[in-house]
Amino acid sequence: MRLLLHLAARAGEVVSIDELLTRVWSGVIVTPDSVYQAVTSLRRSLGDDPRQPAYIATVPRLGYRMVAAVSRWDDRAPMQARISPSLTGTRRDVPDISLPTLGSSGRSSAVIGAVAALILLLVAGYWVYGNFATGRYAHADASVSVSPQSIGVLPFLDLTTQEMNEEYFADGMTEELIDHMSRILGVRVPGPTSSFYYKGKQLPVADIARNLGVAYLLDGSVRKSAATFRVATRLIRARDGYVVWSETYDRPLGDILTIQKDIAAQMTTSLRASIDGLSSEALPNTAR
């Protein structure tokens, strides 16, 4: 609820991951993955689709934005749908998120509000307890067990040899891969906002993995030569920095979205075939 209220108070504005960590999780040491998990839970509760958001939109490498219209609610007037521009610039029907005020119903409204506040408090308490119980809150002085089936996808590098202008393709490849890998049952994958936080940062593998709460990191690079795109990727074991799996994918130049989707699907299939070996650290090393 605190996350929802903070985004609603800044409706239409991009709210950074650092601001959310400071304002919503004030006084609690958490990783950026906690923000992603909370946003995912909030979207699920609202019935929101991250691909076509009606409430909360992800702004890659920047944060989140409340795209629904926000206004104060009057209990004498029905809630109405409003038109709000999406991130793509098109217009679509989105719900109106209203902040409650005490209307003319007086005492009965106050009682209803008190009951609603109590329910929200109980739900928030249960949510916070669940996060602590499952180890989502990473305290600096506590050792939280990390699932061996947890992978953080780092932003892919643009290694094109000429103008170095394929960064947009590398970023899209990263997001597509995160989306595909998050569908593997039993595998924990931090979201794009958490991953892009480390773009351009020179940090030890162990530190990044600890901050993301994962056992493995997947990084990669994009290169273009003549009429061919080459995407190389590798899986790194966080505790010692060794590469335990790698693959290379070559695709002829064509529709960018199709190439990204095809490579991400093939890469995920390869990882899925070896996912049971993560705990035993027995991933194969192959190339295509």
Query: Where is pLDDT greater, at 31 or 204?
Result: 204
Q: What angle do CA 192, 195, 197 make, to 5 degrees?
A: 110
pLDDT at residue 14, rounded to an integer: 92
Q: How confident is the model over 95-124, as a mean pLDDT?
A: 57
Q: How confident is the model over 12-39, as a mean pLDDT?
A: 83
pLDDT at residue 46, rounded to an integer: 87
Backbone angles phi, psi at 258, to 5 degrees: -65, -40
Question: Which distant-in-sequence residues (6+ apart) come within 8 Å of 256 by Cβ?
Answer: 169, 172
Phi-psi label, residue 164: left if phi above 0, alpha if psi -120 to 50, beta otherwise? left
Q: How many CA atoms lie within 13 A of 16 on its CB side?
A: 5
Which domains does the chain possess? 2-134 (1.10.10.10), 151-277 (3.40.50.10610)
Helix (H) or strand (E) holding 100: strand 96-100
Lowest-confidence region among 53-62, 162-171, 174-183, 213-222: 162-171
C-alpha span between 260 and 237 (Å, rounded): 25
Give the residue ranges of DSSP H helices in the chain: 2-9, 17-23, 32-46, 107-134, 167-181, 192-196, 205-212, 256-273
Q: DSSP assignment of 207-262, as one string?
A: HHHHHHT-SEEEEEEEEEETTEEEEEEEEEETTT--EEEEEEEEEES--HHHHHHH
Looking at the chain, the whole-number percentage of residues with pLDDT higher than 90 is 11
pTM above 0.85, yes or no: no
Inter-CA distances, 154 with 73, 80, 124, 267, Å = 42, 41, 31, 15
pLDDT at residue 111, rounded to an integer: 54
Other CB atoms within 10 A of residue 160 CB: 19
Two structure tokens written together for 286:
């192959």
Q: What is the mean pLDDT of the chain?
A: 75
- 167 near 233, Cβ under 8 Å? no
Q: How confident is the model over 55-78, as a mean pLDDT?
A: 79
